Structure 1
Amino acid sequence: MYHANRKGRRKTENKSALQRSLDLLNYKSRSSAELKKRLLEEEFDAEEIDSAIRRLQELHLISDEAISAMLARKYAHKGNRFIEQKMKLRGIELPHRESVLETMADEFSRAIYAAQKKIGSLKGKDDSHIRQKMYRFLASSGFGSEVIGKVMRHYPAFEIPEE
């Protein structure tokens, strides 16, 4: 098998899918889907890849649940849509995504917290400008329109810092 090393040179690799998986996991934590995709790109046999992934799961060296939980912690200040998209990009299956999102703090609470942090950067602006900026900020953070609407109804209660 051939693959390019970091300097772009080609070298022969006589490693098994399991050995190559361990090398890849040494560099970065990966979901089983990411690992499988990478090994297929390196032209390993599909059966050998599946066997290697099963073995790594048995040894608790890869865990889609752990990756999901890590992403949820990393993006706890974002909305469910954003977090779910990050998990989906990492190849995390729907049941794992849903179970992690269920364990997180209420999305509305997270949106209120994000809005409270953002409001400080909007001091001195007029009310309609603040509302527009806040809506765009929350939407780009992955909060759904229903949650954003609830936050906007609470807007007058936000503490806007004095200039």
Structure 2
Amino acid sequence: MPRITKLEPQVKHPSRWSIFVDERFFAGCSEEMMASLNLHVGDDLSTQRLDEIREALGMTKVRDSALRYLARRSRSESEMRKYLERKGYDSSQIDTTIAWLQEKKYLDDTQFAEAWVRNRQQLAPRGKRRLMMELFQKGIDRDTATQTVQRGISPEEEAEAAYKALQSRKNRYRGMETLEIKQKIYNFLSYRGFSSDAVESAYERFIKDLAS
């Protein structure tokens, strides 16, 4: 029967340990995982026990991949699932990892949607329609996307965001005819997903600014 013959910290990564079975390197794992698996030198390993260890270490690898992906920015469930699929993990590992991430509150589509709307409005103002489309593209379901955008942006805030989106374009419009300015503003803001009321409000304020 296979036996654990050595457990030693890795030279380059002291927080990780190398497991040797019958004097051969078997796998590496964190100190926490080693304790969780209750591994000791001299343990005899049945085929079932070896499979359990392999499965546990495999899940750790999937979780580590997921956490590294989350370290860059928050993710939607759909983004995470597609990423793990691209990494080649099987559906069972992915489902288990996503459930673990959700349990730990590392993955939450509502929080993701709220953060997305908040960051967009701070850095690159968008209208409600455009924001909902972006959330759909991130894999957020329609109800969550719609409720988040409607709850997060009032009509007044959307009108203000539309006005802010025009501030960097003042020099482009100086000297143009009013009708041409109106057409360009309406096209620009409509493309960014602003409602007709928000566009009209922003246009009226912007024209007054140009005239002053």
TM-score of the superposed pair, with normalisation by structure 2: 0.59
Label 1:127 to 1:155 Cα distance change in 2 as closer, same or farther (>3 A).
Answer: farther
Corresponding residue to 2:115 among 39, 47, 70: 70
How far off is 1:53 after superposition? 0.7
How far off is 1:95 after superposition? 2.1
CA RMSD of aligned residues (A): 2.6
Task: Indicate the residue corresponding to 2:153 in structure 1.
Answer: 104
Please identify, of 14-23 and 63-72, the stretch whose mean Cα deviation from structure 2 is larger: 14-23
How far off is 1:39 after superposition? 1.0
User: Secondary structure in 2 aligned to 1:159?
Assistant: helix
1:120 equivalent in alignment to 2:170: yes
The equivalences for 1:1-163 within 5 A come to: 15-16=58-59, 17-76=62-121, 77-102=125-150, 103-106=152-155, 107-115=158-166, 117=167, 120-121=170-171, 122-144=173-195, 146-147=196-197, 150-151=200-201, 154=204, 158-162=208-212
Task: Indicate the residue corresponding to 2:48 in structure 1.
Answer: none
In the alignment of these two chains, the number of paired residues is: 147
Label 1:130 to 1:95 Cα distance change in 2 as closer, same or farther (>3 A).
Answer: same
User: Secondary structure in 2 aligned to 1:160?
Assistant: helix
Mapped to 2, the partners of 1:24 and 1:149 lie a distance apart of 38
> CA deviation digits over 1:107-152, x for unaligned, max 9?
344334434x2663322221112111111211221224x3366448
> CA deviation digits over 1:73-95, x for unaligned, max 9?
12222111211122112111122
Mapped to 2, the partners of 1:104 and 1:84 lie a distance apart of 12
What are structure 1's unaligned runs of at least 5 residues?
A: 1-13
Please identify, of 44-53 and 102-111, the stretch whose mean Cα deviation from structure 2 is larger: 102-111
User: Secondary structure in 2 aligned to 1:38?
Assistant: helix
How far off is 1:26 after superposition? 2.1
How far off is 1:32 after superposition? 0.9
Runs of 4+ in 1 over 4 A off after TM superposition: none
TM-score of the superposed pair, with normalisation by structure 1: 0.75
Give the structure with the larger strand fraction.
2
The amino acid that maps onto 2:130 is F
What are structure 2's unaligned runs of at least 5 residues?
A: 1-56
